[in-house]
């Protein structure tokens, strides 16, 4: 397949102030960073009567009410020989009835189109349905950011499932940090901060949160609600600042002026991340259940913030299974109670932080860009590889001979008084490559398996040797296991790979549960607990899986280790997020392709 060289993204663009503009700009930049050899640009939608100082990435702009400019944009894209066009669709950013002007552009394009639907209406008007259906017809693939969107596309618009991709809203990849430093920098030192950010409009439910403040202050007197964001430009154009003024008047009526802060500004990304970093609880009290996507929710969740939200579609999926707190729409009493509970329970709040941050690692812009690129490549190729089912002739497969008795002579020849050698030349141990903790952890797993009834156990001397290698591999200074050791017993690195660390945890967990020696079970339990926490920073799905396999055994012998239980749920959520972000009806898997140790991914979830 010819590699993609040029990709155009159609949508609003910064410095226009709206969520679609932020998303379009972030997506274009993420693809450009992910694939430096691919040329990317934006075709920007400009609302009528407005002008913007667009960045260089904007190669063409369309005045939304001028049909001829949609036609010129199609000519520009065709002449530029773009390989793929990615349309960002939202009702209201294109001209014509139900945004129908965009069809003049799509109908003229000669390259594949991948459309991201930011809204999928459950009850569209006739005009909206007609436009949506024609956009789907013009698109090789359509993308939504929540499974609810996929469900509606299938049930309401009859879009075939194999044409739909679910790709999570991207998030910045930044470290998980405590809020104190950011509070000090922003002038909120010593306060318990509740934050909402985004463009203000009546459907955001800010007034509900304001009404909840008196009840929160009864339990947390230092609480401050920060409302960060300018009023939506369309609302300002039609009504001025009437909505913001109503909110401020309500604050005065409740006597909470010292505990509600309005920051009327549209902030850049570094400033936004600073404000999210300082909050103790993020709240989205939105009033519209049908909100398919919330960038503000995704960003705050991705920075590891405990979120209290009404159950609109995006929040219902992202915050399910205890990853956040959901409250009824318009219920100030419920939202106040749940926020007060979090602000007065540091342990629960911090556990929610860690879990949100861990689960969201699959949502980083780097991962999102790679997922989009995979969809672009598939759209360009024009077909999907199909899974070919084996033919069923009705004739039973002949049984093979019974398995012979296990022989471990060669395995023993690969061991010396240090441990298990890493490699061999044919059948001769290769001392030049020394040893690794990966293989000695595998040997510990074998030792545990041979402790089962009916098996011939390994000798105590050999099992102790493997355990000693693992103990020696532990580096308390880095909190990681070393992996490679030379034949001269010199470590070749301070820290091994994520996979080697996690596989060692798997071996320790099994040893803690099934080793024949009580003292070695105690040793394995203690070392497992000491080495576990660093896994929360890992990004390798196989490292998550190996750790989960170890946790299954460890938690059976240490059921009171609540931190281990939290990590277990978090890693399982990460694997499920990988599956949800990649799977299609013809490819039910965690990644775009197969690699190594594939079976461990589903095994870890059993």
Classify 155 as helix, strand or coil: helix
- Residue 606's pLDDT is what? 86
In angstroms, what CA-CA distances link 167 with 147, 214, 580? 9, 39, 9
Average pLDDT of the chain to the nearest whole number: 91
- Residue 307's pLDDT is what? 97
Nearest 10 degrees: Cα torsion 202, 204, 205, 209: -130
pLDDT at 241 over 80: yes
> Is residue 435 very low, low, confident or very high in pLDDT (cuts 50, 70, 90)?
very high
Going from the N-terminus, what domains does the chain have, and what CATH number goes with each? 6-166 (3.40.50.2000), 180-363 (3.40.50.2000), 409-603 (1.50.10.10)
Query: Poorest-confidence range of 108-122, 363-377, 399-413?
Result: 399-413
- The secondary element (H helix, E strand) that includes residue 307 is strand 307-309
Region 561-572: mean pLDDT is 93
- Residue 454's pLDDT is what? 59
29-72: per-residue pLDDT in tens? 999 999 999 999 999 999 988 999 999 999 999 999 999 999 99
Interatomic CA distance for residues 553 and 508, integer angstroms = 9
DSSP states of 426-442 as a string? TTEE-GGG-EEHHHHHH
The closest of 367, 308, 389 to 580, measured between CA atoms, is 367
Higher pLDDT residue, 559 or 328? 328
- Residue 595's pLDDT is what? 86
- Residue 516's pLDDT is what? 82
- Residue 382's pLDDT is what? 64
Interatomic CA distance for residues 114 and 134, integer angstroms = 13
Interatomic CA distance for residues 417 and 23, integer angstroms = 58
- Residue 1's pLDDT is what? 56
Interatomic CA distance for residues 85 and 384, integer angstroms = 19
- φ/ψ of 28, rounded to 5, equals -60, -45
Classify 425 as helix, strand or coil: strand
DSSP states of 223-259 as a string? EEEEEE-PBPHHHHHHHTTHHHHHHHHHHHHHT-GGG
pTM here is: 0.63
> Is residue 399 very low, low, confident or very high in pLDDT (cuts 50, 70, 90)?
very low
């Amino acid at each position: 397949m010819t590699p993609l060289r040029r990709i155009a993204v159609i949508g609003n663009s910064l410095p226009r102030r709206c969520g679609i503009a932020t998303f379009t700009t972030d997506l274009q930049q993420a693809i450009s960073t992910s694939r430096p050899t691919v040329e990317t640009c934006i075709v920007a939608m400009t609302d009528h009567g407005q002008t913007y100082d667009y960045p260089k990435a904007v190669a063409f702009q369309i005045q939304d009410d001028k049909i001829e400019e949609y036609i010129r944009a199609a000519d520009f894209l065709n002449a530029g020989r773009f390989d793929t066009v990615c349309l960002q669709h939202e009702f209201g950013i294109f001209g014509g009835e139900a945004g129908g002007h965009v069809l003049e552009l799509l109908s003229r394009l000669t390259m594949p189109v991948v459309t991201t639907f930011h809204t999928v209406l459950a009850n569209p008007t006739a005009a909206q349905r007609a436009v949506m259906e024609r956009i789907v017809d013009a698109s090789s693939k359509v993308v939504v950011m929540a499974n609810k969107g996929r469900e509606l596309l299938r049930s309401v618009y009859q879009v075939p499932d194999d044409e739909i991709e679910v790709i999570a809203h991207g998030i910045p990849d930044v470290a998980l940090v405590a809020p104190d430093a950011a509070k000090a920098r922003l002038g909120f030192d010593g306060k318990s901060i509740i934050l909402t950010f985004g463009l203000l409009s009546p459907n955001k439910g800010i007034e509900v949160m304001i009404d909840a403040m008196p009840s929160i202050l009864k339990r947390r007197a230092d609480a401050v609600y920060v409302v960060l964001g300018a009023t939506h430009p369309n609302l300002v154009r039609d009504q001025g600042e009437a909505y913001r003024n109503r909110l401020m008047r309500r604050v005065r009526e409740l006597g909470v002026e010292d505990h509600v802060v309005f920051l009327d500004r549209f902030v850049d990304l570094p400033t936004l991340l600073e404000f999210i970093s300082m909050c103790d609880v993020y709240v989205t009290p939105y009033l519209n259940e049908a909100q398919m996507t919330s960038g503000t929710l995704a960003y705050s969740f991705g920075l590891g913030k405990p979120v209290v939200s009404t159950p609109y579609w995006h929040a219902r999926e992202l915050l399910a299974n205890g990853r956040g707190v959901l409250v009824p729409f318009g219920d100030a009493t419920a939202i106040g109670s749940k926020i007060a509970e979090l602000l007065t329970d540091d342990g629960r709040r911090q556990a929610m932080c860690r879990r949100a941050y861990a689960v969201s690692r699959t949502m980083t812009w780097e991962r999102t860009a790679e997922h989009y690129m995979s969809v672009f490549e598939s759209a360009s190729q024009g077909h999907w590889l199909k899974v070919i089912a084996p033919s069923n002739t009705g004739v039973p497969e002949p049984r093979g001979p019974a398995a012979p008795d296990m022989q471990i002579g060669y395995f023993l020849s690969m061991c010396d008084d240090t441990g298990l050698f890493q490699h061999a030349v044919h059948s001769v141990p290769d001392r030049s490559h020394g040893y690794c903790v990966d293989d000695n952890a595998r040997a510990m797993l074998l030792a545990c398996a041979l402790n089962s009834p009916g098996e011939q156990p390994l000798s105590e001397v050999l099992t102790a040797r493997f355990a000693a290698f693992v103990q020696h591999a532990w580096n308390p200074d880095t909190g990681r296991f070393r992996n490679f050791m030379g034949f001269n017993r010199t470590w070749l690195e301070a820290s091994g790979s994520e996979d080697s660390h996690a596989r060692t945890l798997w071996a320790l967990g099994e040893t803690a549960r099934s080793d024949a020696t009580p003292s070695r079970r105690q040793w394995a339990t203690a070392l497992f607990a000491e080495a576990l926490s660093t896994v929360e920073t890992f990004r390798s799905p196989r490292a998550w899986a190996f750790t989960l396999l170890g946790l299954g055994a460890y938690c059976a012998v240490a059921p009171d280790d609540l931190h281990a239980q939290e990590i277990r749920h978090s890693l399982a959520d990460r694997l499920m997020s990988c599956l949800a972000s990649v799977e299609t009806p013809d490819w039910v898997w965690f990644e775009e392709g197969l690699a190594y140790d594939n079976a461990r991914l589903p095994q870890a979830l059993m």
